[in-house]
A = this chain, B = another copy of it.
Amino acid sequence: MAERISDAEHAVMEVLWDESPLTAQDVAERIPDTRDWSANTVKTLLGRLLAKSIIAHEAEGRRYLYRPLVKREDYVAGESRKLMDRLFGGRLSPLVAHLADRDALTAQDIAEIEALLKELKA
């Protein structure tokens, strides 16, 4: 189950998380243009994701409709945690400190995070 999603595969997943089920062609069309992929490339990636049981497909006539089996939520949670563990000893505050330091924060971000924390304390 805990199969790894590669970078290219992730691009496919983002499409399917955004909308599903989709045919292979639909997926290919929705891949951001910055990735200049042939339709075949997308099909290969769908095949690999299938093999890893990260997505599933059901026949629709002579082709397939693809849908995610893994929730974006869970993927994102896993990746975030891995980063936090690997680079920040599993603690969130150093991560925040780090990014905050590098001026990744707007005033709105700050307000949002503060609200969040207030919520947590309550």
Query: Number of contact residues on A: which range applies?
Result: 35 or more
Q: Is the CB of B96 within 8 A of A113?
A: yes
Indicate how many identical chains form the complex.
Answer: 2
A76 touches B98 (CB 8 A): yes
**Contacts A86-B10, A92-B104, A92-B109 known; A114 to B114 CB distance under 8 Å?**
yes
Would you call A87 an interface residue if the criterion is a C-beta within 8 Å of the partner chain's C-beta atoms? Answer: yes
Residues of B within 8 A of A84 (CB): 99, 104
Are B96 and A116 interface neighbours, CB within 8 A? Answer: yes
Nearest residue, chain B, Cβ from A76: B87
Chain A 73-86, CB-CB to B under 8 Å as 1, else 0, gives: 00011011101101
Q: Does A117 have its Cβ within 8 Å of any Cβ on chain B?
A: yes
